[in-house]
Structures are given as C-alpha cells and as structure tokens.
Amino acid sequence: MADVDLDLDSGDEEEAPKSSKKMIIIIAVVLLLILGIVGGLFVGGVFDSEPDATEASQSADGETGGDGESSAADVAPEEIADVSYWPLEPAFVLNFEGKSKARFMQIGLEVSTTSEKSYAAVKKHLPVIRNEIVLLLSGQKYEEMVTPEGKEQLRAELIETINIILKKHKAKKGIDNIYFTSFVMQ
C-alpha cells in the first residue's frame, strides 16, 4: 500500500493565533461596554443606596416622622399634581394701530395648570377667552411690547383675564401660568 502522509498542521498555525487575538479583542470590548453600562447606572442613580426624602421621613408603620406636619417632601409622588401645558391654538395675529415700526403681531400662547379640570374649563370657554385675549392684545402699544417689562406686564394681564373668565363661569380653579411660545412683531 501506498504510504500517505497527512499534514494536518500546515497553514493552520498562523490562522489560530489571529482568530484567538480577534476573539480576545471582541471579549475585551464587550466587557468594557458592560462595565460602562453598569457604571452609568450607578452614576445615574439607579442603584442609590440612600432612600428618598419621602422614604426617610416615614417610620415602619407608614406615618410621617417629626412633629406630625407634612410638607411637600412628605407627600407621595403620585399625590403631587404634575404641571401640564396646553397651547391656545391657533396663534393670535393682530395689527398695531397708529404709526409704529411694526404693523403686525403674532403671539403663540400656552397655559399651564396642575388641574385637568382647569384645562377642561379653558377648553370649554375658549371662544370667550380668545375674544378677551384679542381685545387685550389689540390695545397694546408697540413701544411697550418691545421691552421685557412690557411683555411681563402683558403676561400678568393675560393670566388675570383668563382666571377672571374662569371664575365668572364657576370654574373651581384657574390657570397657574401662561407662556409666550412665539412673539413676532413686524
């Protein structure tokens, strides 16, 4: 019979170290990613060992500590009302009277409140509210509107106007604030 010489090791010696080096690099990168994620969770506060102010102020039976009075920190997060913002759309577009530099004004407004019922009242009486806002805005002077103080005064007047309308229509709570989301004069 013929003598067959099988050389199984030829050429594979160089490929094995290359693939093992690649494997080591891949494992190192994966471990670094895992360590980065875990470190990020610690920095982000997911694994904080200190309890919240609400947890620290409560005793084992669930009562608040101290003198019996509760503060905002003692209230559970679900009991604190979130502030919600709603736009009064479309934006208000008006013109200035007289000989001013600007002829038109466009103002975008959003109301904020902690009560869903307040916004429901705003939505229900929106035609009246928009009418009063248009009347209030149309009486403004360009010279007053270009100053920060004039804009802040207008904002205070808008809040008061809306809350008066809501009170007049028997809403229990008015809006908390109003914000200019756009303010263009040209």
Whether 156 shows a pLDDT value over 80: the answer reads yes
Question: How far from 60 is each of 56, 57, 71, 93, CA to CA, in Å?
Answer: 10, 10, 19, 59
**How many CA atoms does the CB half-sphere of 118 hold within 13 Å?**
21
Question: Of 118, 109, 108, which is closest to residue 84 (Cα–Cα)?
Answer: 118
Secondary structure E strands in the chain: 84-95, 104-113, 177-185
Do 105 and 137 touch, CB atoms closer than 8 A? Answer: yes
* Alpha-carbon span 64 to 46, nearest angstrom: 25
Torsion over CA: 122, 126, 128, 130 (sign): positive
Q: What is the pLDDT of residue 115?
A: 85
Query: To the nearest whole number, what is the mean pLDDT of the chain?
Result: 76
Q: What is the pLDDT of residue 72?
A: 45
Q: What is the pLDDT of residue 4?
A: 53
Query: Which structure tokens are listed for 64?
Result: 């608040």
Tell me the Cα Rg of the chain: 33
User: Which tens digits make up the pLDDT trace of 99-120?
Assistant: 767 678 899 999 999 888 888 8
Mean pLDDT of 154-177: 91
Of the chain, the percentage scoring pLDDT greater than 70 comes to 65
User: Which residue ranges form the domains of the chain, and what is each CATH number?
Assistant: 81-185 (3.30.479.30)
Q: Which range, 12-21, 75-84, 136-145, is most confident?
A: 136-145
* Residue count of the chain: 186
User: Which tens digits make up the pLDDT trace of 24-80?
Assistant: 888 888 877 787 777 766 665 545 554 444 444 444 444 444 444 444 445 444 445
Do 106 and 184 touch, CB atoms closer than 8 A? Answer: yes
